[in-house]
Amino acid sequence: MQSCSNRYNHSVEGLTIIQKVAVFTPPVLLAVTLHEAAHGWVAGRLGDTTALRLGRVTVNPLKHIDPVGTVLVPLLTMFTGFVFGWAKPVPVNWRNLNHPRRDMALVAVAGPAANLIMALIWALVIRAGGEILPYSEWVAMPLIYMGAAGILINIILMALNLLPILPLDGGRIMNSLLPPTVSQQFSRLEPYGLIIIVLLLVSGVLGKLLWPISSFFIALLPVPEILVQRLIQFIFT
């Protein structure tokens, strides 16, 4: 794997625009699709089949794609070193859940959990690329590049969604944990959530908030230390 680590020193930053799009597109589609499908699947297990009836518990990305959030914004932000985007939210009717307050937290955590699992799988793809590298560079390097992109996208999406801001998943979890009276007051902030996120993004504060979360989870993945450093550098520089 040492040769794989050294190769990465000249990887994503050295790719052409077309190569970057080719490398990032599959991980982006999988990240947002499985994130949203996980919400719907867990909601169905806990009593609310709304997403299932609407065909949202599926790996078909066309059911989850938002033209702006899933296509345009990631394409624009991938060249800044901070990939950002979103999909169409999966509808959940909390009244149908077996234990609404508890179950809303479980539904919310399902999305970030799916992203963490995908990041682990992409790390294994990188390791597979490292094993193949001595025999076939043209097969190995796309795997390594795409694995790195998959880790970046899924860890960022997970970390972003864990922030305690409505309508993010972290905000849903926080809302479920708060006492009912405080929860009602907190819910009133939801219409301003997107504005808050955009302000944090353009001010540079969002990256500083996400850095500790992202770097912690990337460091846990089974990839070489130098690759972890390069990934973190690519995200936040």
Annotation says 190 is catalytic = no
124's CB contacts (< 8 A; 6+ apart) are 147, 222
Give the whole-angstrom CA distance, residue 172 versus residue 174: 5
Token readout for 146 is: 């795409």
d(CA 194, CA 209): 16
84 φ, ψ to 5°? -135, 145
Q: Which two tokens stand for residue 190?
A: 């939801």
Catalytic residue from among 13, 36, 137, 190: 36
Buried b (16+ CB within 10 A) or exposed e, 183-211: eeeeeeeeeeeeeebeebeeeeebbeebe
> Alpha carbon 198 to chain centroid distance?
17
**Alpha-helical runs (H) found in the chain:** 2-8, 17-45, 50-53, 73-77, 100-132, 137-161, 169-177, 180-187, 193-203, 205-220, 225-236
Active site residues: 36
